[in-house]
Amino acid sequence: MKHRIVVLGAGYAGAYAAGNLARRLSPADAEITVVNAVPDFVERMRLHQLAVGQDFAVRKLADVFAGTGVRLRLARVTGVDPERRTVAVTGEDGEGELAYDTLLYALGSSVADHGVPGVAEYAFDVTGRSSALRLRERMAGLGAGGTVLVVGEGLTGIETATEFAESRPDLSVALAARGELGAWLSPKARRHLRQAFDRLGITVHEHTGIEAVEPTRAIAADGTSIPADVTVWSAGFAVHPIAAAGGLEVAETGQIVVDRTMRSVSHPDVYAAGDCAYAIGENGRPLPMSCASAGFTNMQATASIIARLTGSGVSTTGLKYYGNHISLGRRDAIVQMVDGDVRSKSWYLGGRTAAWFKAGVLKGSGWSIAHPTFGMPKRKRRLTTAPDRSGARAAA
């Protein structure tokens, strides 16, 4: 009887994890199913480029997993029952249910509106392909002199504002920051960032919290009206409440609380990776929602699953946040390294060299997803124990 491994989500964490599991576990003992709502792999780090009209290759998940032994189920996850070890899904074939012996939860995150009035109705975002395409259509119809306001001074906000300003110099682009722009960067990197914003003509509204979004403007906390034919909301991410609704132990953020091996602290046959995992890094702080964290957590989760199924010791993957690489359009960028306390180091890399580095990161991430079983060993590891399908959870 094969051990059923179900991976929820085929983003940076889920797609690579599924390939890693297929690469190392014997298909005679394990079957791996990936559940994803859309048929394509979404390069989330490039969605701001897509939104402003740039095009890049789309990778079909069916092609990604072809010949790997990984089964692809195109469906939306609607619920998880960790007591029964089942996942509820809905897709073209209607509603259904998948049973699992081991679950890897990697459903990622979406935009967080923080309950701000008008965000859901009038704002755009770049957290998903469909939302980026919706923004792309709106941007295409925006004539010269149109106004775009990006809300949020994090990585997504900075990259979106600079990409839009470079690609559409005919528009007036602004960014609303709750604090100081680039306050978390080193002084030299912060100066580089401000120079880039000045060069691109981006207006910055610092210490400006947005309290409401309307069709043609945004309202700041002090009552100031900021004109915006298009408001792009990038003020944080949120996870879907599916995990909490299913009874898994979650943090206040809704992320699944995991131990050092990415195993759920409440349900040991469930693992989490990516944005939906509340994982504590080596500095004692929760890992931030990021592509880098998705890489670390999915490597740890797959290593843990494989070790426990094959009866070997669980190795640990480093959970350290090394820094940020921030695109400032296509020809400029900032690479800012951080120390163990996530404080920016004094030096940084900027300009075209940093832009080439960021382009390499994007290319490498895409390549690894497109080749999920690269380096497949000739002999795969056999499972040592049969799955427990009694209905009761396995002991930790």
What is the pLDDT at residue 377?
59
381 Cβ neighbours under 8 A, 6+ residues apart:
24, 25, 26, 306, 310
What is the pLDDT at residue 102?
98
User: Residues 3, 388: contact at Cβ < 8 Å?
Assistant: no
Q: Which alpha helices (H) appear in the chain, and where do they start and end?
A: 12-24, 47-51, 61-64, 119-122, 129-140, 155-167, 187-200, 242-245, 291-310, 352-370
What is the pLDDT at residue 396?
37
What is the pLDDT at residue 94?
85
CA–CA dist 94, 128 (Å, integer) = 23
133 Cβ neighbours under 8 A, 6+ residues apart:
50, 51
CA–CA dist 7, 186 (Å, integer) = 39
- How, if at all, do strands 323-327 and 344-350 pair? unpaired
- How, if at all, do strands 277-278 and 203-205 pair? unpaired
CA–CA dist 322, 38 (Å, integer) = 31
pLDDT (tens, 9 = 90+) of the chain, 396 residues, equals 899 999 999 999 999 999 999 989 999 999 999 999 999 999 999 999 999 999 988 899 999 999 889 999 999 999 999 999 999 999 888 899 999 999 999 999 999 999 999 999 999 999 999 999 999 999 999 999 999 999 999 999 999 999 999 999 999 999 999 999 999 999 999 999 999 999 999 999 999 999 999 999 999 999 999 999 999 999 999 999 999 999 999 999 999 999 999 999 999 999 999 999 999 998 899 998 888 888 899 999 999 999 999 998 898 888 888 888 999 999 999 999 988 777 899 989 999 999 999 999 888 888 887 777 666 555 678 888 666 676 544 433
What is the pLDDT at residue 339?
86
- Please report, in angstroms and rounded to a whole number, the separation of the first and last CA atoms in the chain: 22
CA–CA dist 212, 224 (Å, integer) = 11
In this structure, which amino acid lies at residue 253?
T
Burial bucket for residue 357 (CB in 10 Å: 0-12, 13-18, 19+): middle
Tokens 């990415």 map to which residue? 262
Please compute Rg for the chain using Cα positions. 22
What is the pLDDT at residue 58?
86
What is the pLDDT at residue 390?
61
User: Residues 99, 13: contact at Cβ < 8 Å?
Assistant: no
Torsion of CA 159, 164, 166, 167, to 10 degrees: 130
Torsion of CA 122, 128, 133, 135, to 10 degrees: 30
Strand, helix or coil at 208? coil
CA–CA dist 275, 257 (Å, integer) = 12
- How, if at all, do strands 102-105 and 3-8 pair? parallel
